[in-house]
């Protein structure tokens, strides 16, 4: 089908960059500054939705800004997966901003303008990744995202923050420069093409050995996806303020990692190549499965709420990678669907953790016993969020896991079915006790509970929005499934 | 008029130097504007020639109109602007022009009452560098090489204390390099009977296998390597650049070594043919190993440095390894990468030393520990510094990314994996250093925006320094965005036709 030439993708990406500039200029007037974020987010969301009908019809929006290397340009292409990911990131930007206002202002946190500025840049680059038409463009935005989130991770500027930031950059920049970049150059040198193409770019007869090496370089090179052993940056990045952990380290940054891997697997290697070369598919599945189980086991041992959530994220990201590695249509659709489902669930959990911290300073699970009576709303939201991540109805997480399980049965890697189920049990094992203890255990520190204040309205409202989102996604999952299915069809139908 | 443009490139700074030296006797204040005007004329001519060459191909100019026939060129000196050197000419004259603007305040501060002949020497150095780049005659190249070298010894010795020793060190190495080069030219002249580059390159293939020519080739290259501080001839560089006045370093570091790399490329690509390298795989792999060692060793040394100027000097050393290695890959992407990187690295190093100069101007010292809070004191300078470091690391879309891309592609095509690893390692080391500086300069101080913390007063470098620095840093991004155009219209035509794609 003829692609639509349109500069719209560029405008969409630039919306939040323009907002970033305004944020920097309006730093002295906080209300004006934050309202400009909301305006930008709404405009961006509106523009994204305006592309949706055509994309769901199977059309593509394309635009090449300029040529950077022979045959490879700074080019954008909007397909169903890219649009889905962009929609999720931008729509969650709104509740996170509300939460940030409630979280940062009462505590009189420093450098709020810097915080919102880099946040907007990060959103721009996440959408840039979503719309990239080739690997080079994707890589550019991937790096911009790493750099622009560094000031957010080190926001507190104390020793822990510096240490966490150091780890963050070492892992993300290190792997992307040392593994993803050379892999990309080798692909370019072999094929002269970096466009994401249906069916991959490799000529038939490319040696399997080379493909295996490249695959491993890509999988580990995009360390934002948190595949073990390159996952340690994510728990380290938990020193960041709660809103950063919520939107960036549960949605934007980590999903950019898996998104990049999906693009490489479907657009550079091609689903057929993956399905027909057992070694490739097996490598992806085994790496993802190991990460999935090990991360869940480590999560069980974490007492710090945010670290437990971080390890849970690492595991859930591997669901997506495993889903694509299965190389079946249903599996890929399930993987794509898991991006929004997990995003809504995990952001709810992180926001709850932030709200609890703000209300009573508790960072650890052992400190929140009995907290449910004090903050019933917050803990209910936490419960809904955990259901969504575990994958139980009536939340969206159930739907994506359903398709992933179906996909594993369709494929040659049927053991993945068992892995998915085991992991879901482990998810339940590390989330539900938190909820149980919050409601039913005797408080360990009653004095702290008495002192605790109800979190301000600005931090509670976003929790409602996202946890309601978790439930709504279950009932309207067919809308999202259209996106996921359109993407899966495009890359599997030959 | 346009046919005289090539010589105007040289005449601008040469006349500027002579006039500046003359007026320095009775009116020292005049020398800076004179040099500036000379360089501005030179830059305008060089820029115009870039477009002429892109449209109409190489421009040749015979000094005095002598020997315009092939084979009669022994007497007359030819100067050539072709696809290989036109970009570098524009880069050298452009960077020199910006540096002239930039260094005024720095010279006033650092050299106060001793600056009388500074700008005359400055302009003479640029004359030498432009001469090396533009000449079409291998002996004339030696002459310009010495002009450049002698003026740079003096410029380094303008610093005090250890600068004298460093300049002397450089003098020994530089003279050795020049001797080796001259000796090599002697071999070539003995075999071919001409010094004109066009004639030599026409005659060499007819001579077939010749031991003398090969010795000449090796001697010339050794000479060029000593001049560009390629491993293992690098010992003179870090101290010279660190102890020279910051104003001298700002001109020397970006241009002097890059022009020597160009001289090597000229010898490899046009004087001799690239087959010389392809047909001697043992030498080729030796040089590639040396390049990797140069990159790795310089990267490690840069990690141990505590002085910003010295650290940057080690960056220069590692970049030299990039270019020599890229050229010796002797395939299309490798040579393209080396040629792009000569221009890109000139711009990057210039921006780097300009930013460092701004810091030195305000803080007096460039020790890493003194940088605490520098991001609050000089936010604009540090923004330019971060962009420059990003270019050196190779973050897209800066120019450093694209040259590195071609180099790695070339190395992958030739299967030289140690060179790939060295390039990536050097990127990582630079990234570590950038974030170490960010940590010291930004995170290690109490944030002034928090109530109760002491405010850090803003103390930017003067505008005459800040504007060139920012312009250069933005130029790195612009250069990155036009890389593909430059490669398609100019650099790809400078590659030897015999190369495999």
The encoded tokens of residue A193 equal 């093409």
A202-227 mean pLDDT: 88
Domain hosting B489: range is 279-501
The confidence score (pLDDT) of residue B111 equals 80
Instruction: Confirm if B374 and B294 have CB atoms less than 8 A apart.
Output: no
Q: State whether B409 and A188 contact (CB < 8 Å).
A: yes
DSSP state at residue B137: B
Closest approach of A328 to chain B, Cα-based (Å): 33
> Phi/psi at A364 (nearest 5 deg)?
-115, 155
Hey, what long-range contacts does B22-25 have (CB within 8 A, 24 or more apart)?
A: B24/B116, B24/B117, B24/B120
Which residue in the set A68, A136, A162 is minimally distant from B443, CB to CB? A162
Residue B137 forms part of a structural domain: no
Domain that holds residue A210: 4-492
Looking at every residue in chain A, the average pLDDT score rounds to: 85
* C-alpha span between B386 and B411 (Å, rounded): 28
Provide the pairing of β-strand B78-81 with B59-62. antiparallel
Please report where in the chains the tokens 């898991």 appear, as a residue: A338
User: Are residues A70 and B402, on separate chains, in Cβ contact within 8 Å?
Assistant: no
Which pLDDT belongs to residue A259?
92
* Residue burial B299-325, b: 16+ Cβ < 10 Å; e: rest: bebbeebebbbbbbbbbbbbbbbbbbb
Residue among B424, B451, B484 whose CB faces A182 most closely:
B424
DSSP state of B77: P
Q: What is the DSSP annotation of A162-201?
A: HHHHHHHHHHHHHHIIIIIHHHHHHHHHHHS--B--TT-S
Nearest CA in chain B to A178: B424
Nearest partner of A115 among A302, A223, A247, judged by Cα? A247
- Cross-chain residue pair A177–B402, CB shorter than 8 Å: no
DSSP A241: -
Residue B306 lies in a domain: yes
Distance CA B284, CA B434 (A): 33
* A469, A395 contact by CB (below 8 A): no
Residue B178: other Cβ atoms inside 10 A: 18
Q: Do A174 and B487 touch (CB under 8 A)?
A: no
The answer to whether position B420 is within a domain reads yes
Looking at the DSSP assignment, which residues form a beta bridge with residue A73? A67
User: CB-CB: which of A147, A173, A189 is closest to B412?
Assistant: A189
CB burial readout B349-358, b (16+ within 10 A) else e: bbbbbbbbbb
Contact A411, A331 (CB under 8 A): yes
DSSP letters, A282-331, are HHHHHHHHHHHHHHHHHHHH--BHHHHHHHHHHHHHHHHHHHHHTT-HHH
Which residues of A fall within a CB distance of 8 Å from B390?
147
Interchain CB distance below 8 Å, A182 and B412? yes
* Res B73: pLDDT: 47
Nearest to B484 among A70, A111, A186 (CB): A70
Whole-structure pTM value: 0.84
Structural contact between residues A51 and A78, judged by C-beta atoms closer than 8 angstroms:
yes
Q: Inter-chain contact A136–B393, Cβ cutoff 8 Å?
A: no
Distances (CA, A) of A199 to A273, B270, B460: 8, 44, 54
pLDDT for the residue B351: 94
At residue B31, the pLDDT reads 87
For residue B423, give the chain A residue with the closest CA: A178
pLDDT tens figures, B389-402: 999 998 878 899 99
Q: Looking at residue B58, what is its pLDDT?
A: 85
| pLDDT band, very low/low/confident/very high, at A294 (cuts 50, 70, 90) | very high
- Of residues B76 and A42, more confidently modeled: A42
B→A interface, C-beta within 8 Å:
333, 390, 393-397, 402, 405, 408-409, 412-413, 420, 424, 427-428, 431-432, 435, 439, 442-444, 447, 449-451, 481, 483-485, 487-488
Cα separation of B16 and B28, whole Å? 13
Q: What is the pLDDT of residues B328-338, one digit of tens each?
A: 988 888 999 99
**pLDDT for the residue B452:** 63
- Cα gap A434→B463, rounded to integer Å: 58
pLDDT in tens, A122-181: 888 999 999 999 999 999 899 889 888 888 888 877 778 888 888 888 888 889 888 998
List of residues 6+ apart from B235 with CB closer than 8 A: B169, B173
Residue identified by tokens 């101007």 is B361
Q: Which residues of B touch A147 (CB under 8 A)?
A: 390, 395
Domain count, chain B: 1
Query: Which chain B residues contact residue A182 at CB under 8 A?
Result: 408, 412, 420, 424
And the tokens for A328?
């079946």
Paired tokens of B267: 């010898």
How distant is the Cα of A84 from the closest Cα of chain B, in angstroms?
Answer: 26
Contact A262, A225 (CB under 8 A): no
Query: Could you say which of B393, B435, B444 has the minimum Cβ distance to residue A166?
Result: B435
Mean pLDDT by 10 residues, chain B (501 residues): 85 92 86 92 93 87 67 68 91 93 87 84 93 90 93 88 88 92 92 86 82 88 90 86 89 91 90 79 89 92 89 92 91 91 93 92 83 86 91 87 90 88 91 88 72 74 90 92 88 78 52
| Residue A324 and residue A331 in contact, taking contact as beta carbons nearer than 8 Å | yes
- Flag if B408 and A111 touch (Cβ within 8 Å): no
Q: Which of A79, A94, A134, A93 is nearest to A336 (CA)?
A: A79
Q: Please list every residue in chain B whose beta carbon sits closer than 8 Å to the beta carbon of residue A177.
A: 393-394, 424, 427-428, 431
From chain A, pick out residues whose CB is under 8 angstroms from the CB of B396: 68, 136, 139-140, 143
Provide the 10 A C-beta neighbour count for residue A275.
16
**What residues of A are in contact with residue B299 (Cβ under 8 Å)?**
none
Find all residues with CB under 8 Å of B362, minimum gap 6, and list them.
B377, B378, B459, B460, B461
Contact state of B397 with A189 under an 8 Å Cβ cutoff: no
Tell me which chain B residues have a C-beta less than 8 angstroms from the C-beta of A181. 408, 424
The reported pLDDT for the residue numbered B449 is 63
Q: How many Cβ pairs closer than 8 A exist between chain A and B?
A: 77
Residue of A nearest to B429 (CA): A174
pLDDT at residue number A19: 84
Q: Does A430 touch chain B (CB under 8 A)?
A: no
Residues A174, B431: C-beta atoms closer than 8 Å: yes
Q: Answer yes or no: do B449 and A110 touch at CB < 8 A.
A: yes
Give me the residues paired with residue A72 across strands.
A69
Q: Which of B412, B424, B484 sits opposite A186 (nearest CB)?
A: B412
Per-residue model confidence (pLDDT) at position A39: 86
Q: What number is the average pLDDT over the span A293-314?
A: 89
Length of chain B: 501
Number of domains in chain A: 1
Rounded Cα distance, B263 and B342, in Å: 11
pLDDT per residue over B237-259, tens digit each?
888 888 888 889 999 999 999 99
Residue of A nearest to B387 (CA): A147
Q: Yes or no: say if A168 and A160 are a contact pair by the CB < 8 Å rule.
A: no
């Amino acid at each position: 089908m003829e692609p639509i030439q349109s500069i719209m993708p560029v405008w969409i990406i630039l919306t939040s960059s323009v907002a970033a500039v305004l944020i920097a200029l309006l730093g002295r007037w906080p209300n004006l500054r934050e309202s400009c974020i909301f305006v930008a987010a709404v405009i961006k969301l509106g523009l994204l939705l305006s592309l949706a009908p055509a994309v769901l019809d199977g059309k593509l929006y394309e635009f090449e800004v300029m040529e950077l290397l022979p045959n490879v340009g700074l080019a954008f292409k909007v397909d169903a997966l890219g649009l889905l990911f962009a929609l999720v990131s931008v729509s969650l930007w709104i509740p996170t901003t509300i939460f940030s206002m409630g979280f940062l202002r009462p505590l009189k946190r420093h450098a709020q303008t810097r915080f919102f500025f880099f946040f907007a840049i990060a959103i721009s680059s996440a959408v840039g990744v979503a719309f990239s038409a080739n690997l080079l463009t994707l890589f550019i935005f991937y790096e911009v995202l790493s750099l622009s989130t560094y000031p957010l991770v080190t926001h507190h500027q104390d020793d822990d923050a510096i240490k966490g930031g150091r780890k963050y950059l070492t892992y993300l920049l290190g792997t992307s420069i040392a593994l993803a970049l050379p892999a990309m150059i080798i692909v370019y040198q072999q094929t002269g093409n970096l466009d994401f193409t249906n069916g991959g770019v490799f000529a038939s007869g490319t040696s399997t050995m080379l493909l295996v090496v490249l695959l491993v370089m890509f999988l580990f090179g995009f360390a934002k996806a948190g595949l073990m052993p390159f996952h340690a940056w994510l728990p380290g990045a938990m020193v960041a303020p709660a809103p950063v952990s919520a939107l960036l380290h549960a949605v934007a940054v980590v999903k950019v990692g898996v998104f990049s891997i999906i693009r490489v697997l479907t657009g550079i290697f091609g689903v057929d190549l993956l399905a027909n070369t057992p070694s490739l598919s097996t490598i992806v599945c085994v790496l993802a499965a190991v990460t999935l189980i090990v991360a869940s086991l480590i999560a069980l041992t974490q007492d710090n709420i945010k670290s437990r959530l971080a390890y849970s994220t690492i595991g859930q990201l591997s669901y997506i990678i495993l889903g694509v590695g299965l190389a079946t249509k249903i599996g890929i659709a399930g993987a794509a669907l898991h991006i929004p489902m997990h995003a809504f669930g995990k952001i709810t959990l992180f926001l709850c953790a932030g709200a609890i911290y703000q209300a009573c300073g508790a960072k650890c699970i052992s400190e929140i016993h009995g907290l449910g009576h004090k903050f019933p709303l917050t803990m209910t939201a936490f419960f809904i969020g955990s259901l969504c991540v575990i994958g139980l109805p009536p939340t969206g997480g159930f739907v994506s896991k359903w398709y992933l399980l179906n996909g594993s049965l369709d494929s040659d890697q049927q053991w993945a079915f068992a892995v998915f189920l085991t992991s879901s049990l482990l998810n339940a094992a590390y989330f539900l006790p938190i909820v149980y203890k919050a409601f039913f255990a005797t408080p360990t520190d009653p004095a702290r509970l008495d002192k605790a204040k109800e979190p301000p309205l600005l931090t509670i409202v976003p929790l409602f929005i996202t946890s309601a989102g978790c439930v709504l996604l279950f009932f309207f999952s067919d809308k999202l499934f259209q996106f996921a299915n359109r993407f899966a069809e495009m890359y599997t139908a030959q | 008029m346009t046919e005289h443009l090539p010589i105007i490139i040289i005449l601008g700074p040469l006349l500027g130097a002579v006039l500046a030296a003359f007026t320095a006797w009775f009116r020292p204040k005049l020398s800076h504007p004179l040099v500036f005007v000379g360089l501005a004329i030179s830059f305008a001519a060089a820029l115009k020639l870039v477009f002429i060459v892109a449209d109409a191909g190489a421009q040749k100019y015979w000094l005095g109109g002598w020997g315009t026939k092939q084979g009669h060129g022994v007497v007359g000196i030819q100067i050539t602007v072709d696809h290989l050197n036109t970009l570098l000419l524009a880069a050298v004259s452009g960077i020199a022009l910006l540096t002239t603007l930039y260094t005024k305040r720095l010279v006033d501060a650092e050299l106060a009452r001793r600056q009388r002949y500074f700008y005359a020497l400055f302009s003479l150095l640029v004359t030498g560098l432009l001469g090396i780049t533009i000449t079409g005659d291998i002996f004339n190249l030696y002459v310009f090489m010495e002009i450049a070298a002698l003026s740079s010894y003096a410029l380094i010795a303008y610093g005090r204390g250890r600068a004298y020793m460093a300049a002397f060190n450089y003098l020994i190495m530089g003279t050795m390099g020049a001797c080796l080069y001259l000796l090599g030219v002697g071999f070539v002249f003995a075999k071919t009977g001409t010094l004109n580059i066009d004639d030599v390159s026409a005659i060499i293939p007819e001579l077939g296998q010749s031991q003398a020519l090969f010795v000449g080739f090796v001697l010339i290259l050794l000479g060029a390597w000593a001049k560009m501080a390629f491993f293992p001839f690098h010992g003179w560089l870090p101290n010279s650049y660190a102890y020279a006045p910051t104003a001298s370093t700002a001109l020397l570091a970006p241009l002097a070594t890059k022009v020597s790399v160009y001289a090597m490329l000229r010898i490899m690509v046009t004087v001799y043919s690239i087959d010389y390298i392809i047909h001697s795989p043992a030498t080729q792999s030796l040089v590639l190993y040396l390049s990797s060692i140069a990159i790795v060793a310089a990267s490690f040394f840069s990690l141990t440095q505590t002085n910003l100027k010295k650290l940057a000097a080690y960056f220069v050393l590692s970049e030299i390894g990039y270019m020599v290695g890229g050229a010796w890959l002797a395939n299309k992407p490798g040579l393209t990468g080396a040629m792009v990187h000569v221009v890109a690295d000139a711009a990057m190093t210039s921006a780097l030393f300009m930013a460092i100069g701004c810091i030195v101007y305000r803080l007096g010292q460039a020790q890493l520990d003194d940088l605490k809070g520098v991001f609050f004191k000089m936010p604009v300078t540090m923004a330019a510094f971060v962009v420059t470091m990003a270019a050196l690391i190779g973050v897209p879309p800066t120019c450093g990314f694209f040259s590195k891309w071609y180099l790695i592609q070339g190395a992958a095509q030739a299967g030289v994996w140690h060179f790939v690893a060295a390039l990536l390692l050097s990127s990582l080391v630079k990234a570590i250093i950038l974030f170490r500086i960010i940590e010291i300069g930004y995170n290690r101080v109490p944030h002034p925006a928090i109530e109760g913390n002491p405010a850090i007063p803003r103390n930017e470098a003067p505008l005459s320094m800040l504007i060139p620095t920012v312009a250069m840093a933005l130029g790195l991004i612009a250069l990155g965005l036009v890389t593909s155009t430059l490669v398609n219209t100019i650099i790809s035509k400078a590659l030897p036709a015999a190369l495999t794609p």
